[in-house]
Each structure stands twice: as structure tokens, then as C-alpha cells.
Amino acid sequence: MVFNSLFASLVLALPVFSSAVLPRTTNGNDKNPFLGKSFYANSNYAKEVQQSINAFLKKGDLANAARARTIAETGTFYWLDTTAKVPTISTIVEEGILSEILHLQKTTFQFVVYNLPDRDCSAASSAGELSFANNGLNLYKNYIDQIAAQIHRFPLETFALIIEPDGLPNIVTNADPTTGVPKCIAAASGYKQAVAYAISKLQAPNVALYLDAGHGGWLGWAGNLQPAAELFAEVVGLATKGSKIRGFSINTSNYNTYNASYQETFYNYDPSYTEDLYANNLAPYLKNVSLPAHFVVDTGRDGKYGIRTDGSQWCNVKGAGFGIRPTTTTHDPLIDALVWVKPGGESDGTSNSSSPRFDPTCVDSAAFTPAPEAGTWFEAYFESLLANAVPAIPESWI
């Protein structure tokens, strides 16, 4: 207790610098933010996993409790899915600075910016707190301003931010004026403005921005690659002059394999049937519109393949397993890192049909049921992910 208090005092004694006093000779988007740093394992996810550790211990299953402890120590992204969660940035970074001191290892702090008005326009399970009809764009800008203010308190720390999973991909495929989803059609202009604002306000020497680009089974089809790149370029172009992004996040919260030779039957005509293929297929189109072709790939739940009958099955898929743990050893120069964006064990959506956020996909033949609301802890599903992990999760005994 004395030891922890001492280091806590050291952290509190560290000066908090304004970003205005630092020279802006570089941009955080010019370099891989993960190289030479650890992937920070935030305590919020660790507390959730502790529930599973306790469940295993109660059953006398010491080996799986030890494997779950390894998961708790694995770096995952923290989702800023409501404005109320924004102050958590400082809490996470302050505990991370303590960890850096203890382990003499610099850290990359990982956050998902996820609060677009009318979010999840083509589904319902992750609908958010804001809507364009109720001053949503201005409230979103305030949300982004608060994130920027939090990050600017820590100019000596490294941040990797993923911007709005599913947002722009929905505009690529679901906002056609005649055939699209009405909610996506209505949200398209607002999505572009909101994401452009986020890009503009989150520029900093210590921040790397990755726009979400869906996955290979969504935007990786031959007919979607160029429209996707053009939309991304349009949105970056709407940002303040000189604004940059590092690249793109792919497979966020999804189950596509990273680079296995196996091809799902429903991707038979998809040239991007694995995520490394998707990155390499999308890259030339990005370069043609002067965008960087750097990627992070979510491998958090892609350990098992052959568990779906359709690429549109995304909700708590049965048989899924944890995939490759976060690493910069990607064997592909386009891939900055393999990361865990979706915290394994948090539900994708509820199977309760009476819920306002119910989506039928969460009760289809591939879905693990019964399931709680999106984002809440799903103990049975966590245990399944652990059992099906590829590679197997090693045990941590201390």
C-alpha cells in the first residue's frame, strides 16, 4: 500500500503540459504509434474480466482462471461511446503513467471514438445517445472538444484513436438515395461533417488517427473499393487544411480471419476474403486519392473460422475465439499492428426482442443466446471465446 501510494504521489507530481507549449514539428499520424511501446491494458476491462476469473475460481477451474488473468493483462481499446465516458481518458492515462514508471516501458493508449448522432444507422443494437434532430451535430462537436482537451493534458504520451466504427462504411453501402437504408440516407451528410470535425480537432504530435473502414466482407468487394476510398478522401478533405490521418482500422468487432489460407464459402467471389487481402486490395485506391495506406486489424475474436454461414452474421457469433494477441509483428508492411479493438466478453447486442435496441441478427442461427445489451458483460460468451482461442491463451499465475 505504501509502495503504491508513493508512485501515485509521483504521478500526481508530474507536470501537466498544455499542448500549446510543445513545438508542432511532427504529426502523430506520420509514424506507427505502436512501435517500441506496450499496448496498455486498462483497468476497466480488467475489472470486467475479473468477474470471469472469479467465476472460474468458484468452479475450481484454476487453469482457466489463469488464462483469463492473461486476458485481463492484454491491451484493449476503450470505447468512448457516451459523452459521460470522456473523463475516463485522464483516469486511464494517469494509471498508465504509473505502469510506465513501474515497468520502464512506454505505452500506447488506445481509444475508440464512437458517438456519432444516429449511430448504427443500418442496425439497432448499438444505437447511441445523440440524434441529428436533437442538436446532435453540435453535441457531437462538444464531445470531440472534450476528448481533445483530455488528450492535450498528456502531450508526452502516445494515443491511437479509431474514429467511428461502421460510420463511413454505412455511407458507402447503405446511403444510396434510391436503394439505401432511410436512416443512413438521412445521416450521410451529418456523418461526413462529424467525422471531418473529429479529424480536425484531434490533430496532435502524439495522436494517431485511424478511420474505420469496415472489413473485407463489407467494403472489400471489387465494386466497393474505389467508392470507399473516394468517400474517405472526401471526408479528410472536409477537415481543416493540413489535417492528416494515420490510416484505417479494419475488422473492428468482426470475425474475419487475418491471413489464413481458408476461404469462407460466402466470400467465394470476394477478393478480400481475409483482412490482409483487404488491406492490400484497398491500399492502391487509397494511394490514388492521396490517403495513407496504413492499417490496424482487430484480431480480438477472429481465432476461429468456419463458424458462420453468412458474412452478415456479426452478433455474438457462436464458436468464436480470441485471436492473435496485440502485436506489431504483422508480416505485412501495410499493417501497423494487430490489435484488440472489441473487448472480448462485451456483448454485441441483446437477444431480448422487446428491447428498443434489439436487432434480429442477435437471434439468428449463428448468434449465441441469450445475450445482454450491447456493451455489457456477457460471461458465458467470454468463457466460449477463451475456450476457442487460437492460438491458445497462456496461463498467468501472478
CA atoms lying within 13 Å on the CB side of residue 262: 11
* Contact indicator for 21, 316 with CB cutoff of 8 Å: no
**In the chain, alpha helices (H):** 2-13, 43-58, 62-72, 88-103, 136-152, 167-174, 182-201, 222-238, 275-288, 379-387
Is 336 known to be catalytic?
A: no
> Rounded to an integer, what is the distance from CA 353 to the centroid of its chain?
27
Buried b (16+ CB within 10 A) or exposed e, 122-155: bbbbbbbebbbeeebbebbeebbeebbebbbebb
Phi/psi of residue 110, nearest 5 degrees: -120, 125
Report residue 1 as a C-alpha cell. Answer: 500500500
Would you say 287 is a known binding-site residue?
no
Q: Give me the torsion for CA of 13, 16, 21, 27, rounded to 10°.
A: 120
From the list 210, 196, 385, the residue with the least C-alpha distance to 297 is 210
Buried b (16+ CB within 10 A) or exposed e, 320-355: bbbbbbbebebeeebbbbbbbbbbbbbbbbbbbeeb
* Contact indicator for 175, 223 with CB cutoff of 8 Å: no
Would you say 79 is a known binding-site residue?
yes
* Contact indicator for 161, 209 with CB cutoff of 8 Å: yes
Which residue is catalytic, options 120, 298, 336, 359? 120
Would you say 314 is a known binding-site residue?
yes
Is 348 known to be catalytic?
A: yes
- β-sheet bridge partners, residue 108: 39, 158
Which residue is catalytic, options 166, 270, 276, 336? 166
Would you say 340 is a known binding-site residue?
no
From the list 297, 163, 180, the residue with the least C-alpha distance to 236 is 163
Report residue 256 as a C-alpha cell. Answer: 474475419
How buried is residue 172: exposed, middle or buried, by Cβ count under 10 Å (0-12/13-18/19+)?
A: buried
Would you say 294 is a known binding-site residue?
no
Which residue is catalytic, options 118, 298, 348, 359? 348
At 339, the amino acid letter reads V
**CA distance linking residue 308 with residue 260, whole number of Å:** 16
From the list 339, 207, 219, the residue with the least C-alpha distance to 283 is 219
Would you say 215 is a known binding-site residue?
yes
Report residue 361 as a C-alpha cell. Answer: 441478427
Annotated binding site for substrate: which residue ranges?
79, 81, 215, 218, 254, 314, 342, 346
Annotated binding site: 79, 81, 215, 218, 254, 314, 342, 346
Active site residues: 120, 166, 348
